[in-house]
């Protein structure tokens, strides 16, 4: 189902999810991106239910709820540079920069050509 991402990796995410919760096209895209970037990508978050989102006070319209988004662990500026530059070259049009993760999604129902941050 995925060359680089095991079912266990999705179960370890917060919230825990299943690889089968993910959109198959996104999963294929993510695998190709992993090949392209050439470094290990550790997922901290993947699929999230609408109910989970609402319990956190969010709208429930995140790309995560459609299985078209992941958050990738990122703790150094060099890794951040590598992932973000590769993501832009690869074709990601939606990137979020967190303190210790990078959000990537390819949800065409949401605004394209955006990079946002999660800083308070
Ligand atoms: Zn995210």
Q: What is the pLDDT along the chain (120 residues), one digit of tens a residue?
A: 899 999 999 999 999 999 999 999 999 999 999 999 999 999 999 999 999 999 999 999 999 999 999 999 999 999 999 999 999 999 999 999 999 999 999 999 999 999 999 988
Q: What letter does residue 15 receive in the DSSP assignment? A: S
- Give the Å distance between the CA of 71 and the centre of ligand 1: 5
Roughly how many angstroms between the first and final C-alpha of the chain, as a whole number?
Answer: 37
- pLDDT for residue 79: 97
- Give the Å distance between the CA of 20 and the centre of ligand 1: 18
**Coil/strand/helix, residue 112:** coil
Q: What is the DSSP secondary-structure string of 87-100?
A: HHHHT--EEEE-SS
- Give the Å distance between the CA of 37 and the centre of ligand 1: 19
Is residue 29 within a helix (H) or strand (E), and if so which, with residue range? Answer: helix 24-37
Domain 7-117, second-level architecture: 2-Layer Sandwich (3.30)
Q: What is the value of pTM for the model shown?
A: 0.96
- Give the Å distance between the CA of 98 and the centre of ligand 1: 9
- pLDDT for residue 1: 83
- Give the Å distance between the CA of 60 and the centre of ligand 1: 12
- Give the Å distance between the CA of 70 and the centre of ligand 1: 5
Torsion of CA 11, 98, 72, 115, to 10 degrees: 120
Residue located via tokens 């690869």: 90
- Give the Å distance between the CA of 1 and the centre of ligand 1: 22
**Coil/strand/helix, residue 120:** coil
Helix locations, 38-111, DSSP H:
50-55, 77-90
- Give the Å distance between the CA of 64 and the centre of ligand 1: 6
- pLDDT for residue 120: 82
CB 68 within 8 A of CB 23: yes
Give the span between the Cα atoms of 9 and 23, in whole angstroms. Answer: 16
């Amino acid at each position: 189902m995925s060359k680089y991402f095991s079912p266990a990796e999705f179960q370890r995410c917060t919230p825990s999810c299943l690889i089968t919760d993910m959109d198959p096209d996104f999963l294929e895209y993510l695998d190709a991106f992993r090949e392209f970037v050439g470094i290990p990508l550790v997922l901290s978050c993947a699929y999230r239910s609408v109910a989970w989102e609402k319990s956190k006070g969010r709208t429930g319209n995140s790309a995560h709820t459609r299985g078209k988004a992941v958050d990738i662990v990122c703790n150094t500026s060099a890794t951040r540079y590598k992932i973000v530059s590769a993501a832009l070259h690869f074709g990601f049009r939606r990137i979020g920069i967190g303190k210790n993760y990078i959000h990537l999604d390819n949800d065409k129902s949401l605004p394209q050509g955006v990079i946002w941050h999660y800083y308070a």
